[in-house]
Structure 1
């Protein structure tokens, strides 16, 4: 058997086993039929600490993370390590907000972040804007999982879109059948494989390249010869502001993505959420080790494969590194681990998108009296359409378009921070002020992204998220994360409009939540194993609508 056939056989075998696990997950910890969003879309809200930890890790650390972060390090050096401080910043921020969001969501039977906005501000328009923004940010992110699988397949010599279509069809099938239970079970296998892969790689590959001293010396020499002034083992002066703002903006944006909230709302009780968030920084250590693959690829002399447009595709450097350094059977398993790292977040993202469509569009505007079973059916169908839309982005459009749209998605979803995160602590903002701020922030972000070009790769618009401060008339060569600038516009407009409306006595929408809702723990009284008592609030109740 040839090396390529051995790689492909190992790859297919692992993915087949994972698919069987995904279909079988429908029976895992199941209390009844999957005929409600609580059961299908949130796993019955009964996941314990370990399951939630694996699920969130599998959801946040995607296949694209594992190939893109080393690719940035491969191409630019130190700038690629922005992902480390941003995950360190992320978890305390999430702890301050999501624990409260979990409590109020469980108390009122909320399923999406837009559900919270609806009951907090009594505004259908604001909730709809938040939901649509979440959808616009999620679908390109889902498409990037295709990019991760595509880089693996192209390394094995598989071109075209047939294999990607089959892979996502299988994901769609077991997600439709098993709901949130499928990615929860697969995430455990995924993390075990990825952790083992990282340990083996960092022990085996440097030993074949002459040790870590040689690896870093080779990287330093390569960056010194690069025509790009920002490349290097260390950051250059003009890169500091971009590094800091990108880390902070990415941290603020990540926990606002609907799939992040969906994973956490599946936790069994408030303490489960706290323990999970306290343990998540362990993934930051793993991410830092994965980033080192970029330096290993430089030392190994990896040359990226060309993409469909003929440009070098840096996301192929990690698969190529594994292919060149590992025996064929181990390379095949490594490729399968990267593939699984795409399947878990793809499933959760599509479920989150389906929940948004069902709760905040279908039930709000089409069928306010929808039954639990109808909601579940609509969410399943909507999740299929979200996957189809992501597939279309990759199959029909330029592969780099999905990257640009995902960058835009991060900027856009960050604009929901005032309504969601600040809304968990204060009701000062007027609903019309939040609508005006959100629209202004979205417009400002899109304009800035449109103006960012990349002449080196022939991209005139939406080429990156680093906005040059010189375009604002400032005498500097520094850049800043466009999402933070847009958020400043958002907050200023929301604050000014709110102050004006408050001064004129314009009535605000009703707030259905109570202070106790933000600290309640109905899940703890329900218990993970025992039955729910008659005095507990009904899970999935419609008190909020």
Structure 2
């Protein structure tokens, strides 16, 4: 650690410490009578308005994955890395159709998780359990991705080592994140999201204006990046990528975008952010407004080309053999030390917000759909909250296992691996808010088929640095093209579910009791007066 950049590290630690203080202080922000209820600890009192929800969902969905993994994918493969830009545009119409209906039925019945809804909709604890366990599993690699972002920044600043010292920064990040998430619940990432977004927007605007001027303009950036991508990869002997997708990559690009768009809103952390909204209209407004973040995502992806065009950055990243260092190295070599520290802080804080929400979402799933559903049906709200707090710690530990056990040279695979699993819950959740035609046992069988196929296929993929789970794409049966494994598994899931539904309906197999009613899906929050100790809520219950 003798080459640590003191200025960069000092500024990074300052912001990291500041948001940690904010995280602990959030326990008293907009607080109800007690935090020991999942509505309060896990959903922030279900009172957030359009403004807070914008930052919460934005901070939730646009994370260290956005800042580190997307540009790294562009650096490693060129245009293929841009699949993450159109998937947001595809996803938000889906959110607009599904989100308000899920929010309404959850508000009417007190559902805390999507698995709560599935259990109530289909009268099946088993199907609810399957959705819950899938969500928890999918959160592990996604949280791990956030911690990888922090590690990449610390590595570039010179905080390195071997053995335990090499991974010590991850354990420190885990400890801080675990502490304030435990005490403050969802309010912590909601409040920190304001700081996170302010830092990110400042850094992006400066980067896309300033860095190209240092590299000879945009024309020079694209020319140099294209030349770098055309060079043969030593591991394969083929070009690393290109500035444009080719006939061989069109299917992979399209299926990655479409499959990820199906997964975006049904991720547990996305559902948690949405259910924390105070009114139905808040979800609609944010579904319309959040695509603005996709513009930011496109600008961030261009940082991968800038890193390719900078000889010093490109050489440093290739020497390290880790594309995740592309953006941190670019900031380190181009910006003055003080602003590089600010940029690194933006990445670090950008990892904390989603990691906190994800761990809360996963712990709520365990508490409501495993512990309360099968172990302690008579658990009190306080007991549920205690269990959720403890499980949120274990979830972060599970994420650390992913970080330490998987190759991090292309960390975006961690997010895509989670997508393979979570998209298998789409039929039960997204289709379920519109129709109950599909049979509960057919949905369970379809889920199992998709999970087995997706997991086995992903396990069989390899990369130059990872023997198993090395890539999110594989050959698509009967098509002869390479595509996102999640989408192929989803098609199999739907085929099994539809065919079995028809068969089970013909055999008159009971479909379970539906505890919801048609008007539950269009209900809004009841009007309520603001409590004296809660000035953040207006007389109509509409929050700031």
TM range, smaller chain: over 0.9
Give 1:295's match in structure 2, choosing from 280, 283, 305. Answer: 305
**Alignment partner of 1:248 is 2:251:** no
Give 2:431's match in structure 1, choosing from 419, 422, 434. Answer: 422
**Alignment partner of 1:462 is 2:469:** yes
**Alignment partner of 1:41 is 2:42:** yes
Q: How far is the alpha carbon of 1:58 from its aligned partner?
A: 0.5
**Alignment partner of 1:153 is 2:168:** no
Matches within 5 A, 1:95-134: 95-134=96-135
**Alignment partner of 1:221 is 2:227:** yes
1:404-460 residue CA offsets vs partner (Å, 9 max, x unmatched): 554332111100011000001111111111111110111111122123222xx1433
**Alignment partner of 1:364 is 2:373:** yes
Give the structure-1-normalised TM-score: 0.93
2:24/2:183 contact within 8 Å kept = yes
1:355-403 residue CA offsets vs partner (Å, 9 max, x unmatched): 0011000100111011111111111111011011112332455546976
| 1:8 corresponds to | 9
**Alignment partner of 1:90 is 2:91:** yes
1:305/1:314 contact within 8 Å kept = no
Residues 304 and 432 of structure 1: CA distance in aligned 2, closer, same or farther (over 3 Å)? farther
Residues 425 and 445 of structure 1: CA distance in aligned 2, closer, same or farther (over 3 Å)? same
| 1:441 corresponds to | 450
Structure 1 alignment gaps of length 5 or more: 534-545
2:322/2:410 contact within 8 Å kept = no
1:393/1:402 contact within 8 Å kept = no
1:241-264 residue CA offsets vs partner (Å, 9 max, x unmatched): 111111000010121110000001
In structure 2, how many angstroms separate the alpha carbons of the residues matched to 1:524 and 1:70? 45
| 2:500 corresponds to | 497
**Alignment partner of 1:512 is 2:515:** yes
| 2:330 corresponds to | 321
Three-state SS of the structure 1 residue aligned to 2:314 is coil
1:467/1:481 contact within 8 Å kept = yes
Matches within 5 A, 1:224-373: 224-227=230-233, 228-229=238-239, 231-301=241-311, 302-303=313-314, 312-373=321-382
1:473-495 residue CA offsets vs partner (Å, 9 max, x unmatched): 65x4x311111111111111111
In structure 2, how many angstroms separate the alpha carbons of the residues matched to 1:304 and 1:140? 29
In structure 1, how many angstroms separate the alpha carbons of the residues matched to 2:68 and 2:362? 24
| 1:194 corresponds to | 200
Bigger shift: residues 237-246 or 295-304: 295-304
Give the structure-2-normalised TM-score: 0.93
Residues 177 and 531 of structure 1: CA distance in aligned 2, closer, same or farther (over 3 Å)? farther
Q: Alignment length, in residue pairs?
A: 525
1:285-337 residue CA offsets vs partner (Å, 9 max, x unmatched): 11111111011111112136679xx9611010100000001111111111111
Three-state SS of the structure 2 residue aligned to 1:468 is strand
Structure 2 alignment gaps of length 5 or more: 161-165, 531-535
1:305/1:313 contact within 8 Å kept = no
Give 1:521's match in structure 2, choosing from 514, 521, 524. Answer: 524
In structure 1, how many angstroms separate the alpha carbons of the residues matched to 2:424 and 2:527? 33
Residues 324 and 138 of structure 1: CA distance in aligned 2, closer, same or farther (over 3 Å)? same
| 1:169 corresponds to | 175
Q: How far is the alpha carbon of 1:217 from its aligned partner?
A: 1.2
Q: How far is the alpha carbon of 1:531 from its aligned partner?
A: 6.5
Three-state SS of the structure 1 residue aligned to 2:338 is helix
| 1:64 corresponds to | 65
Q: How far is the alpha carbon of 1:280 from its aligned partner?
A: 0.1
Q: How far is the alpha carbon of 1:17 from its aligned partner?
A: 1.0
Q: CA RMSD in A?
A: 2.0
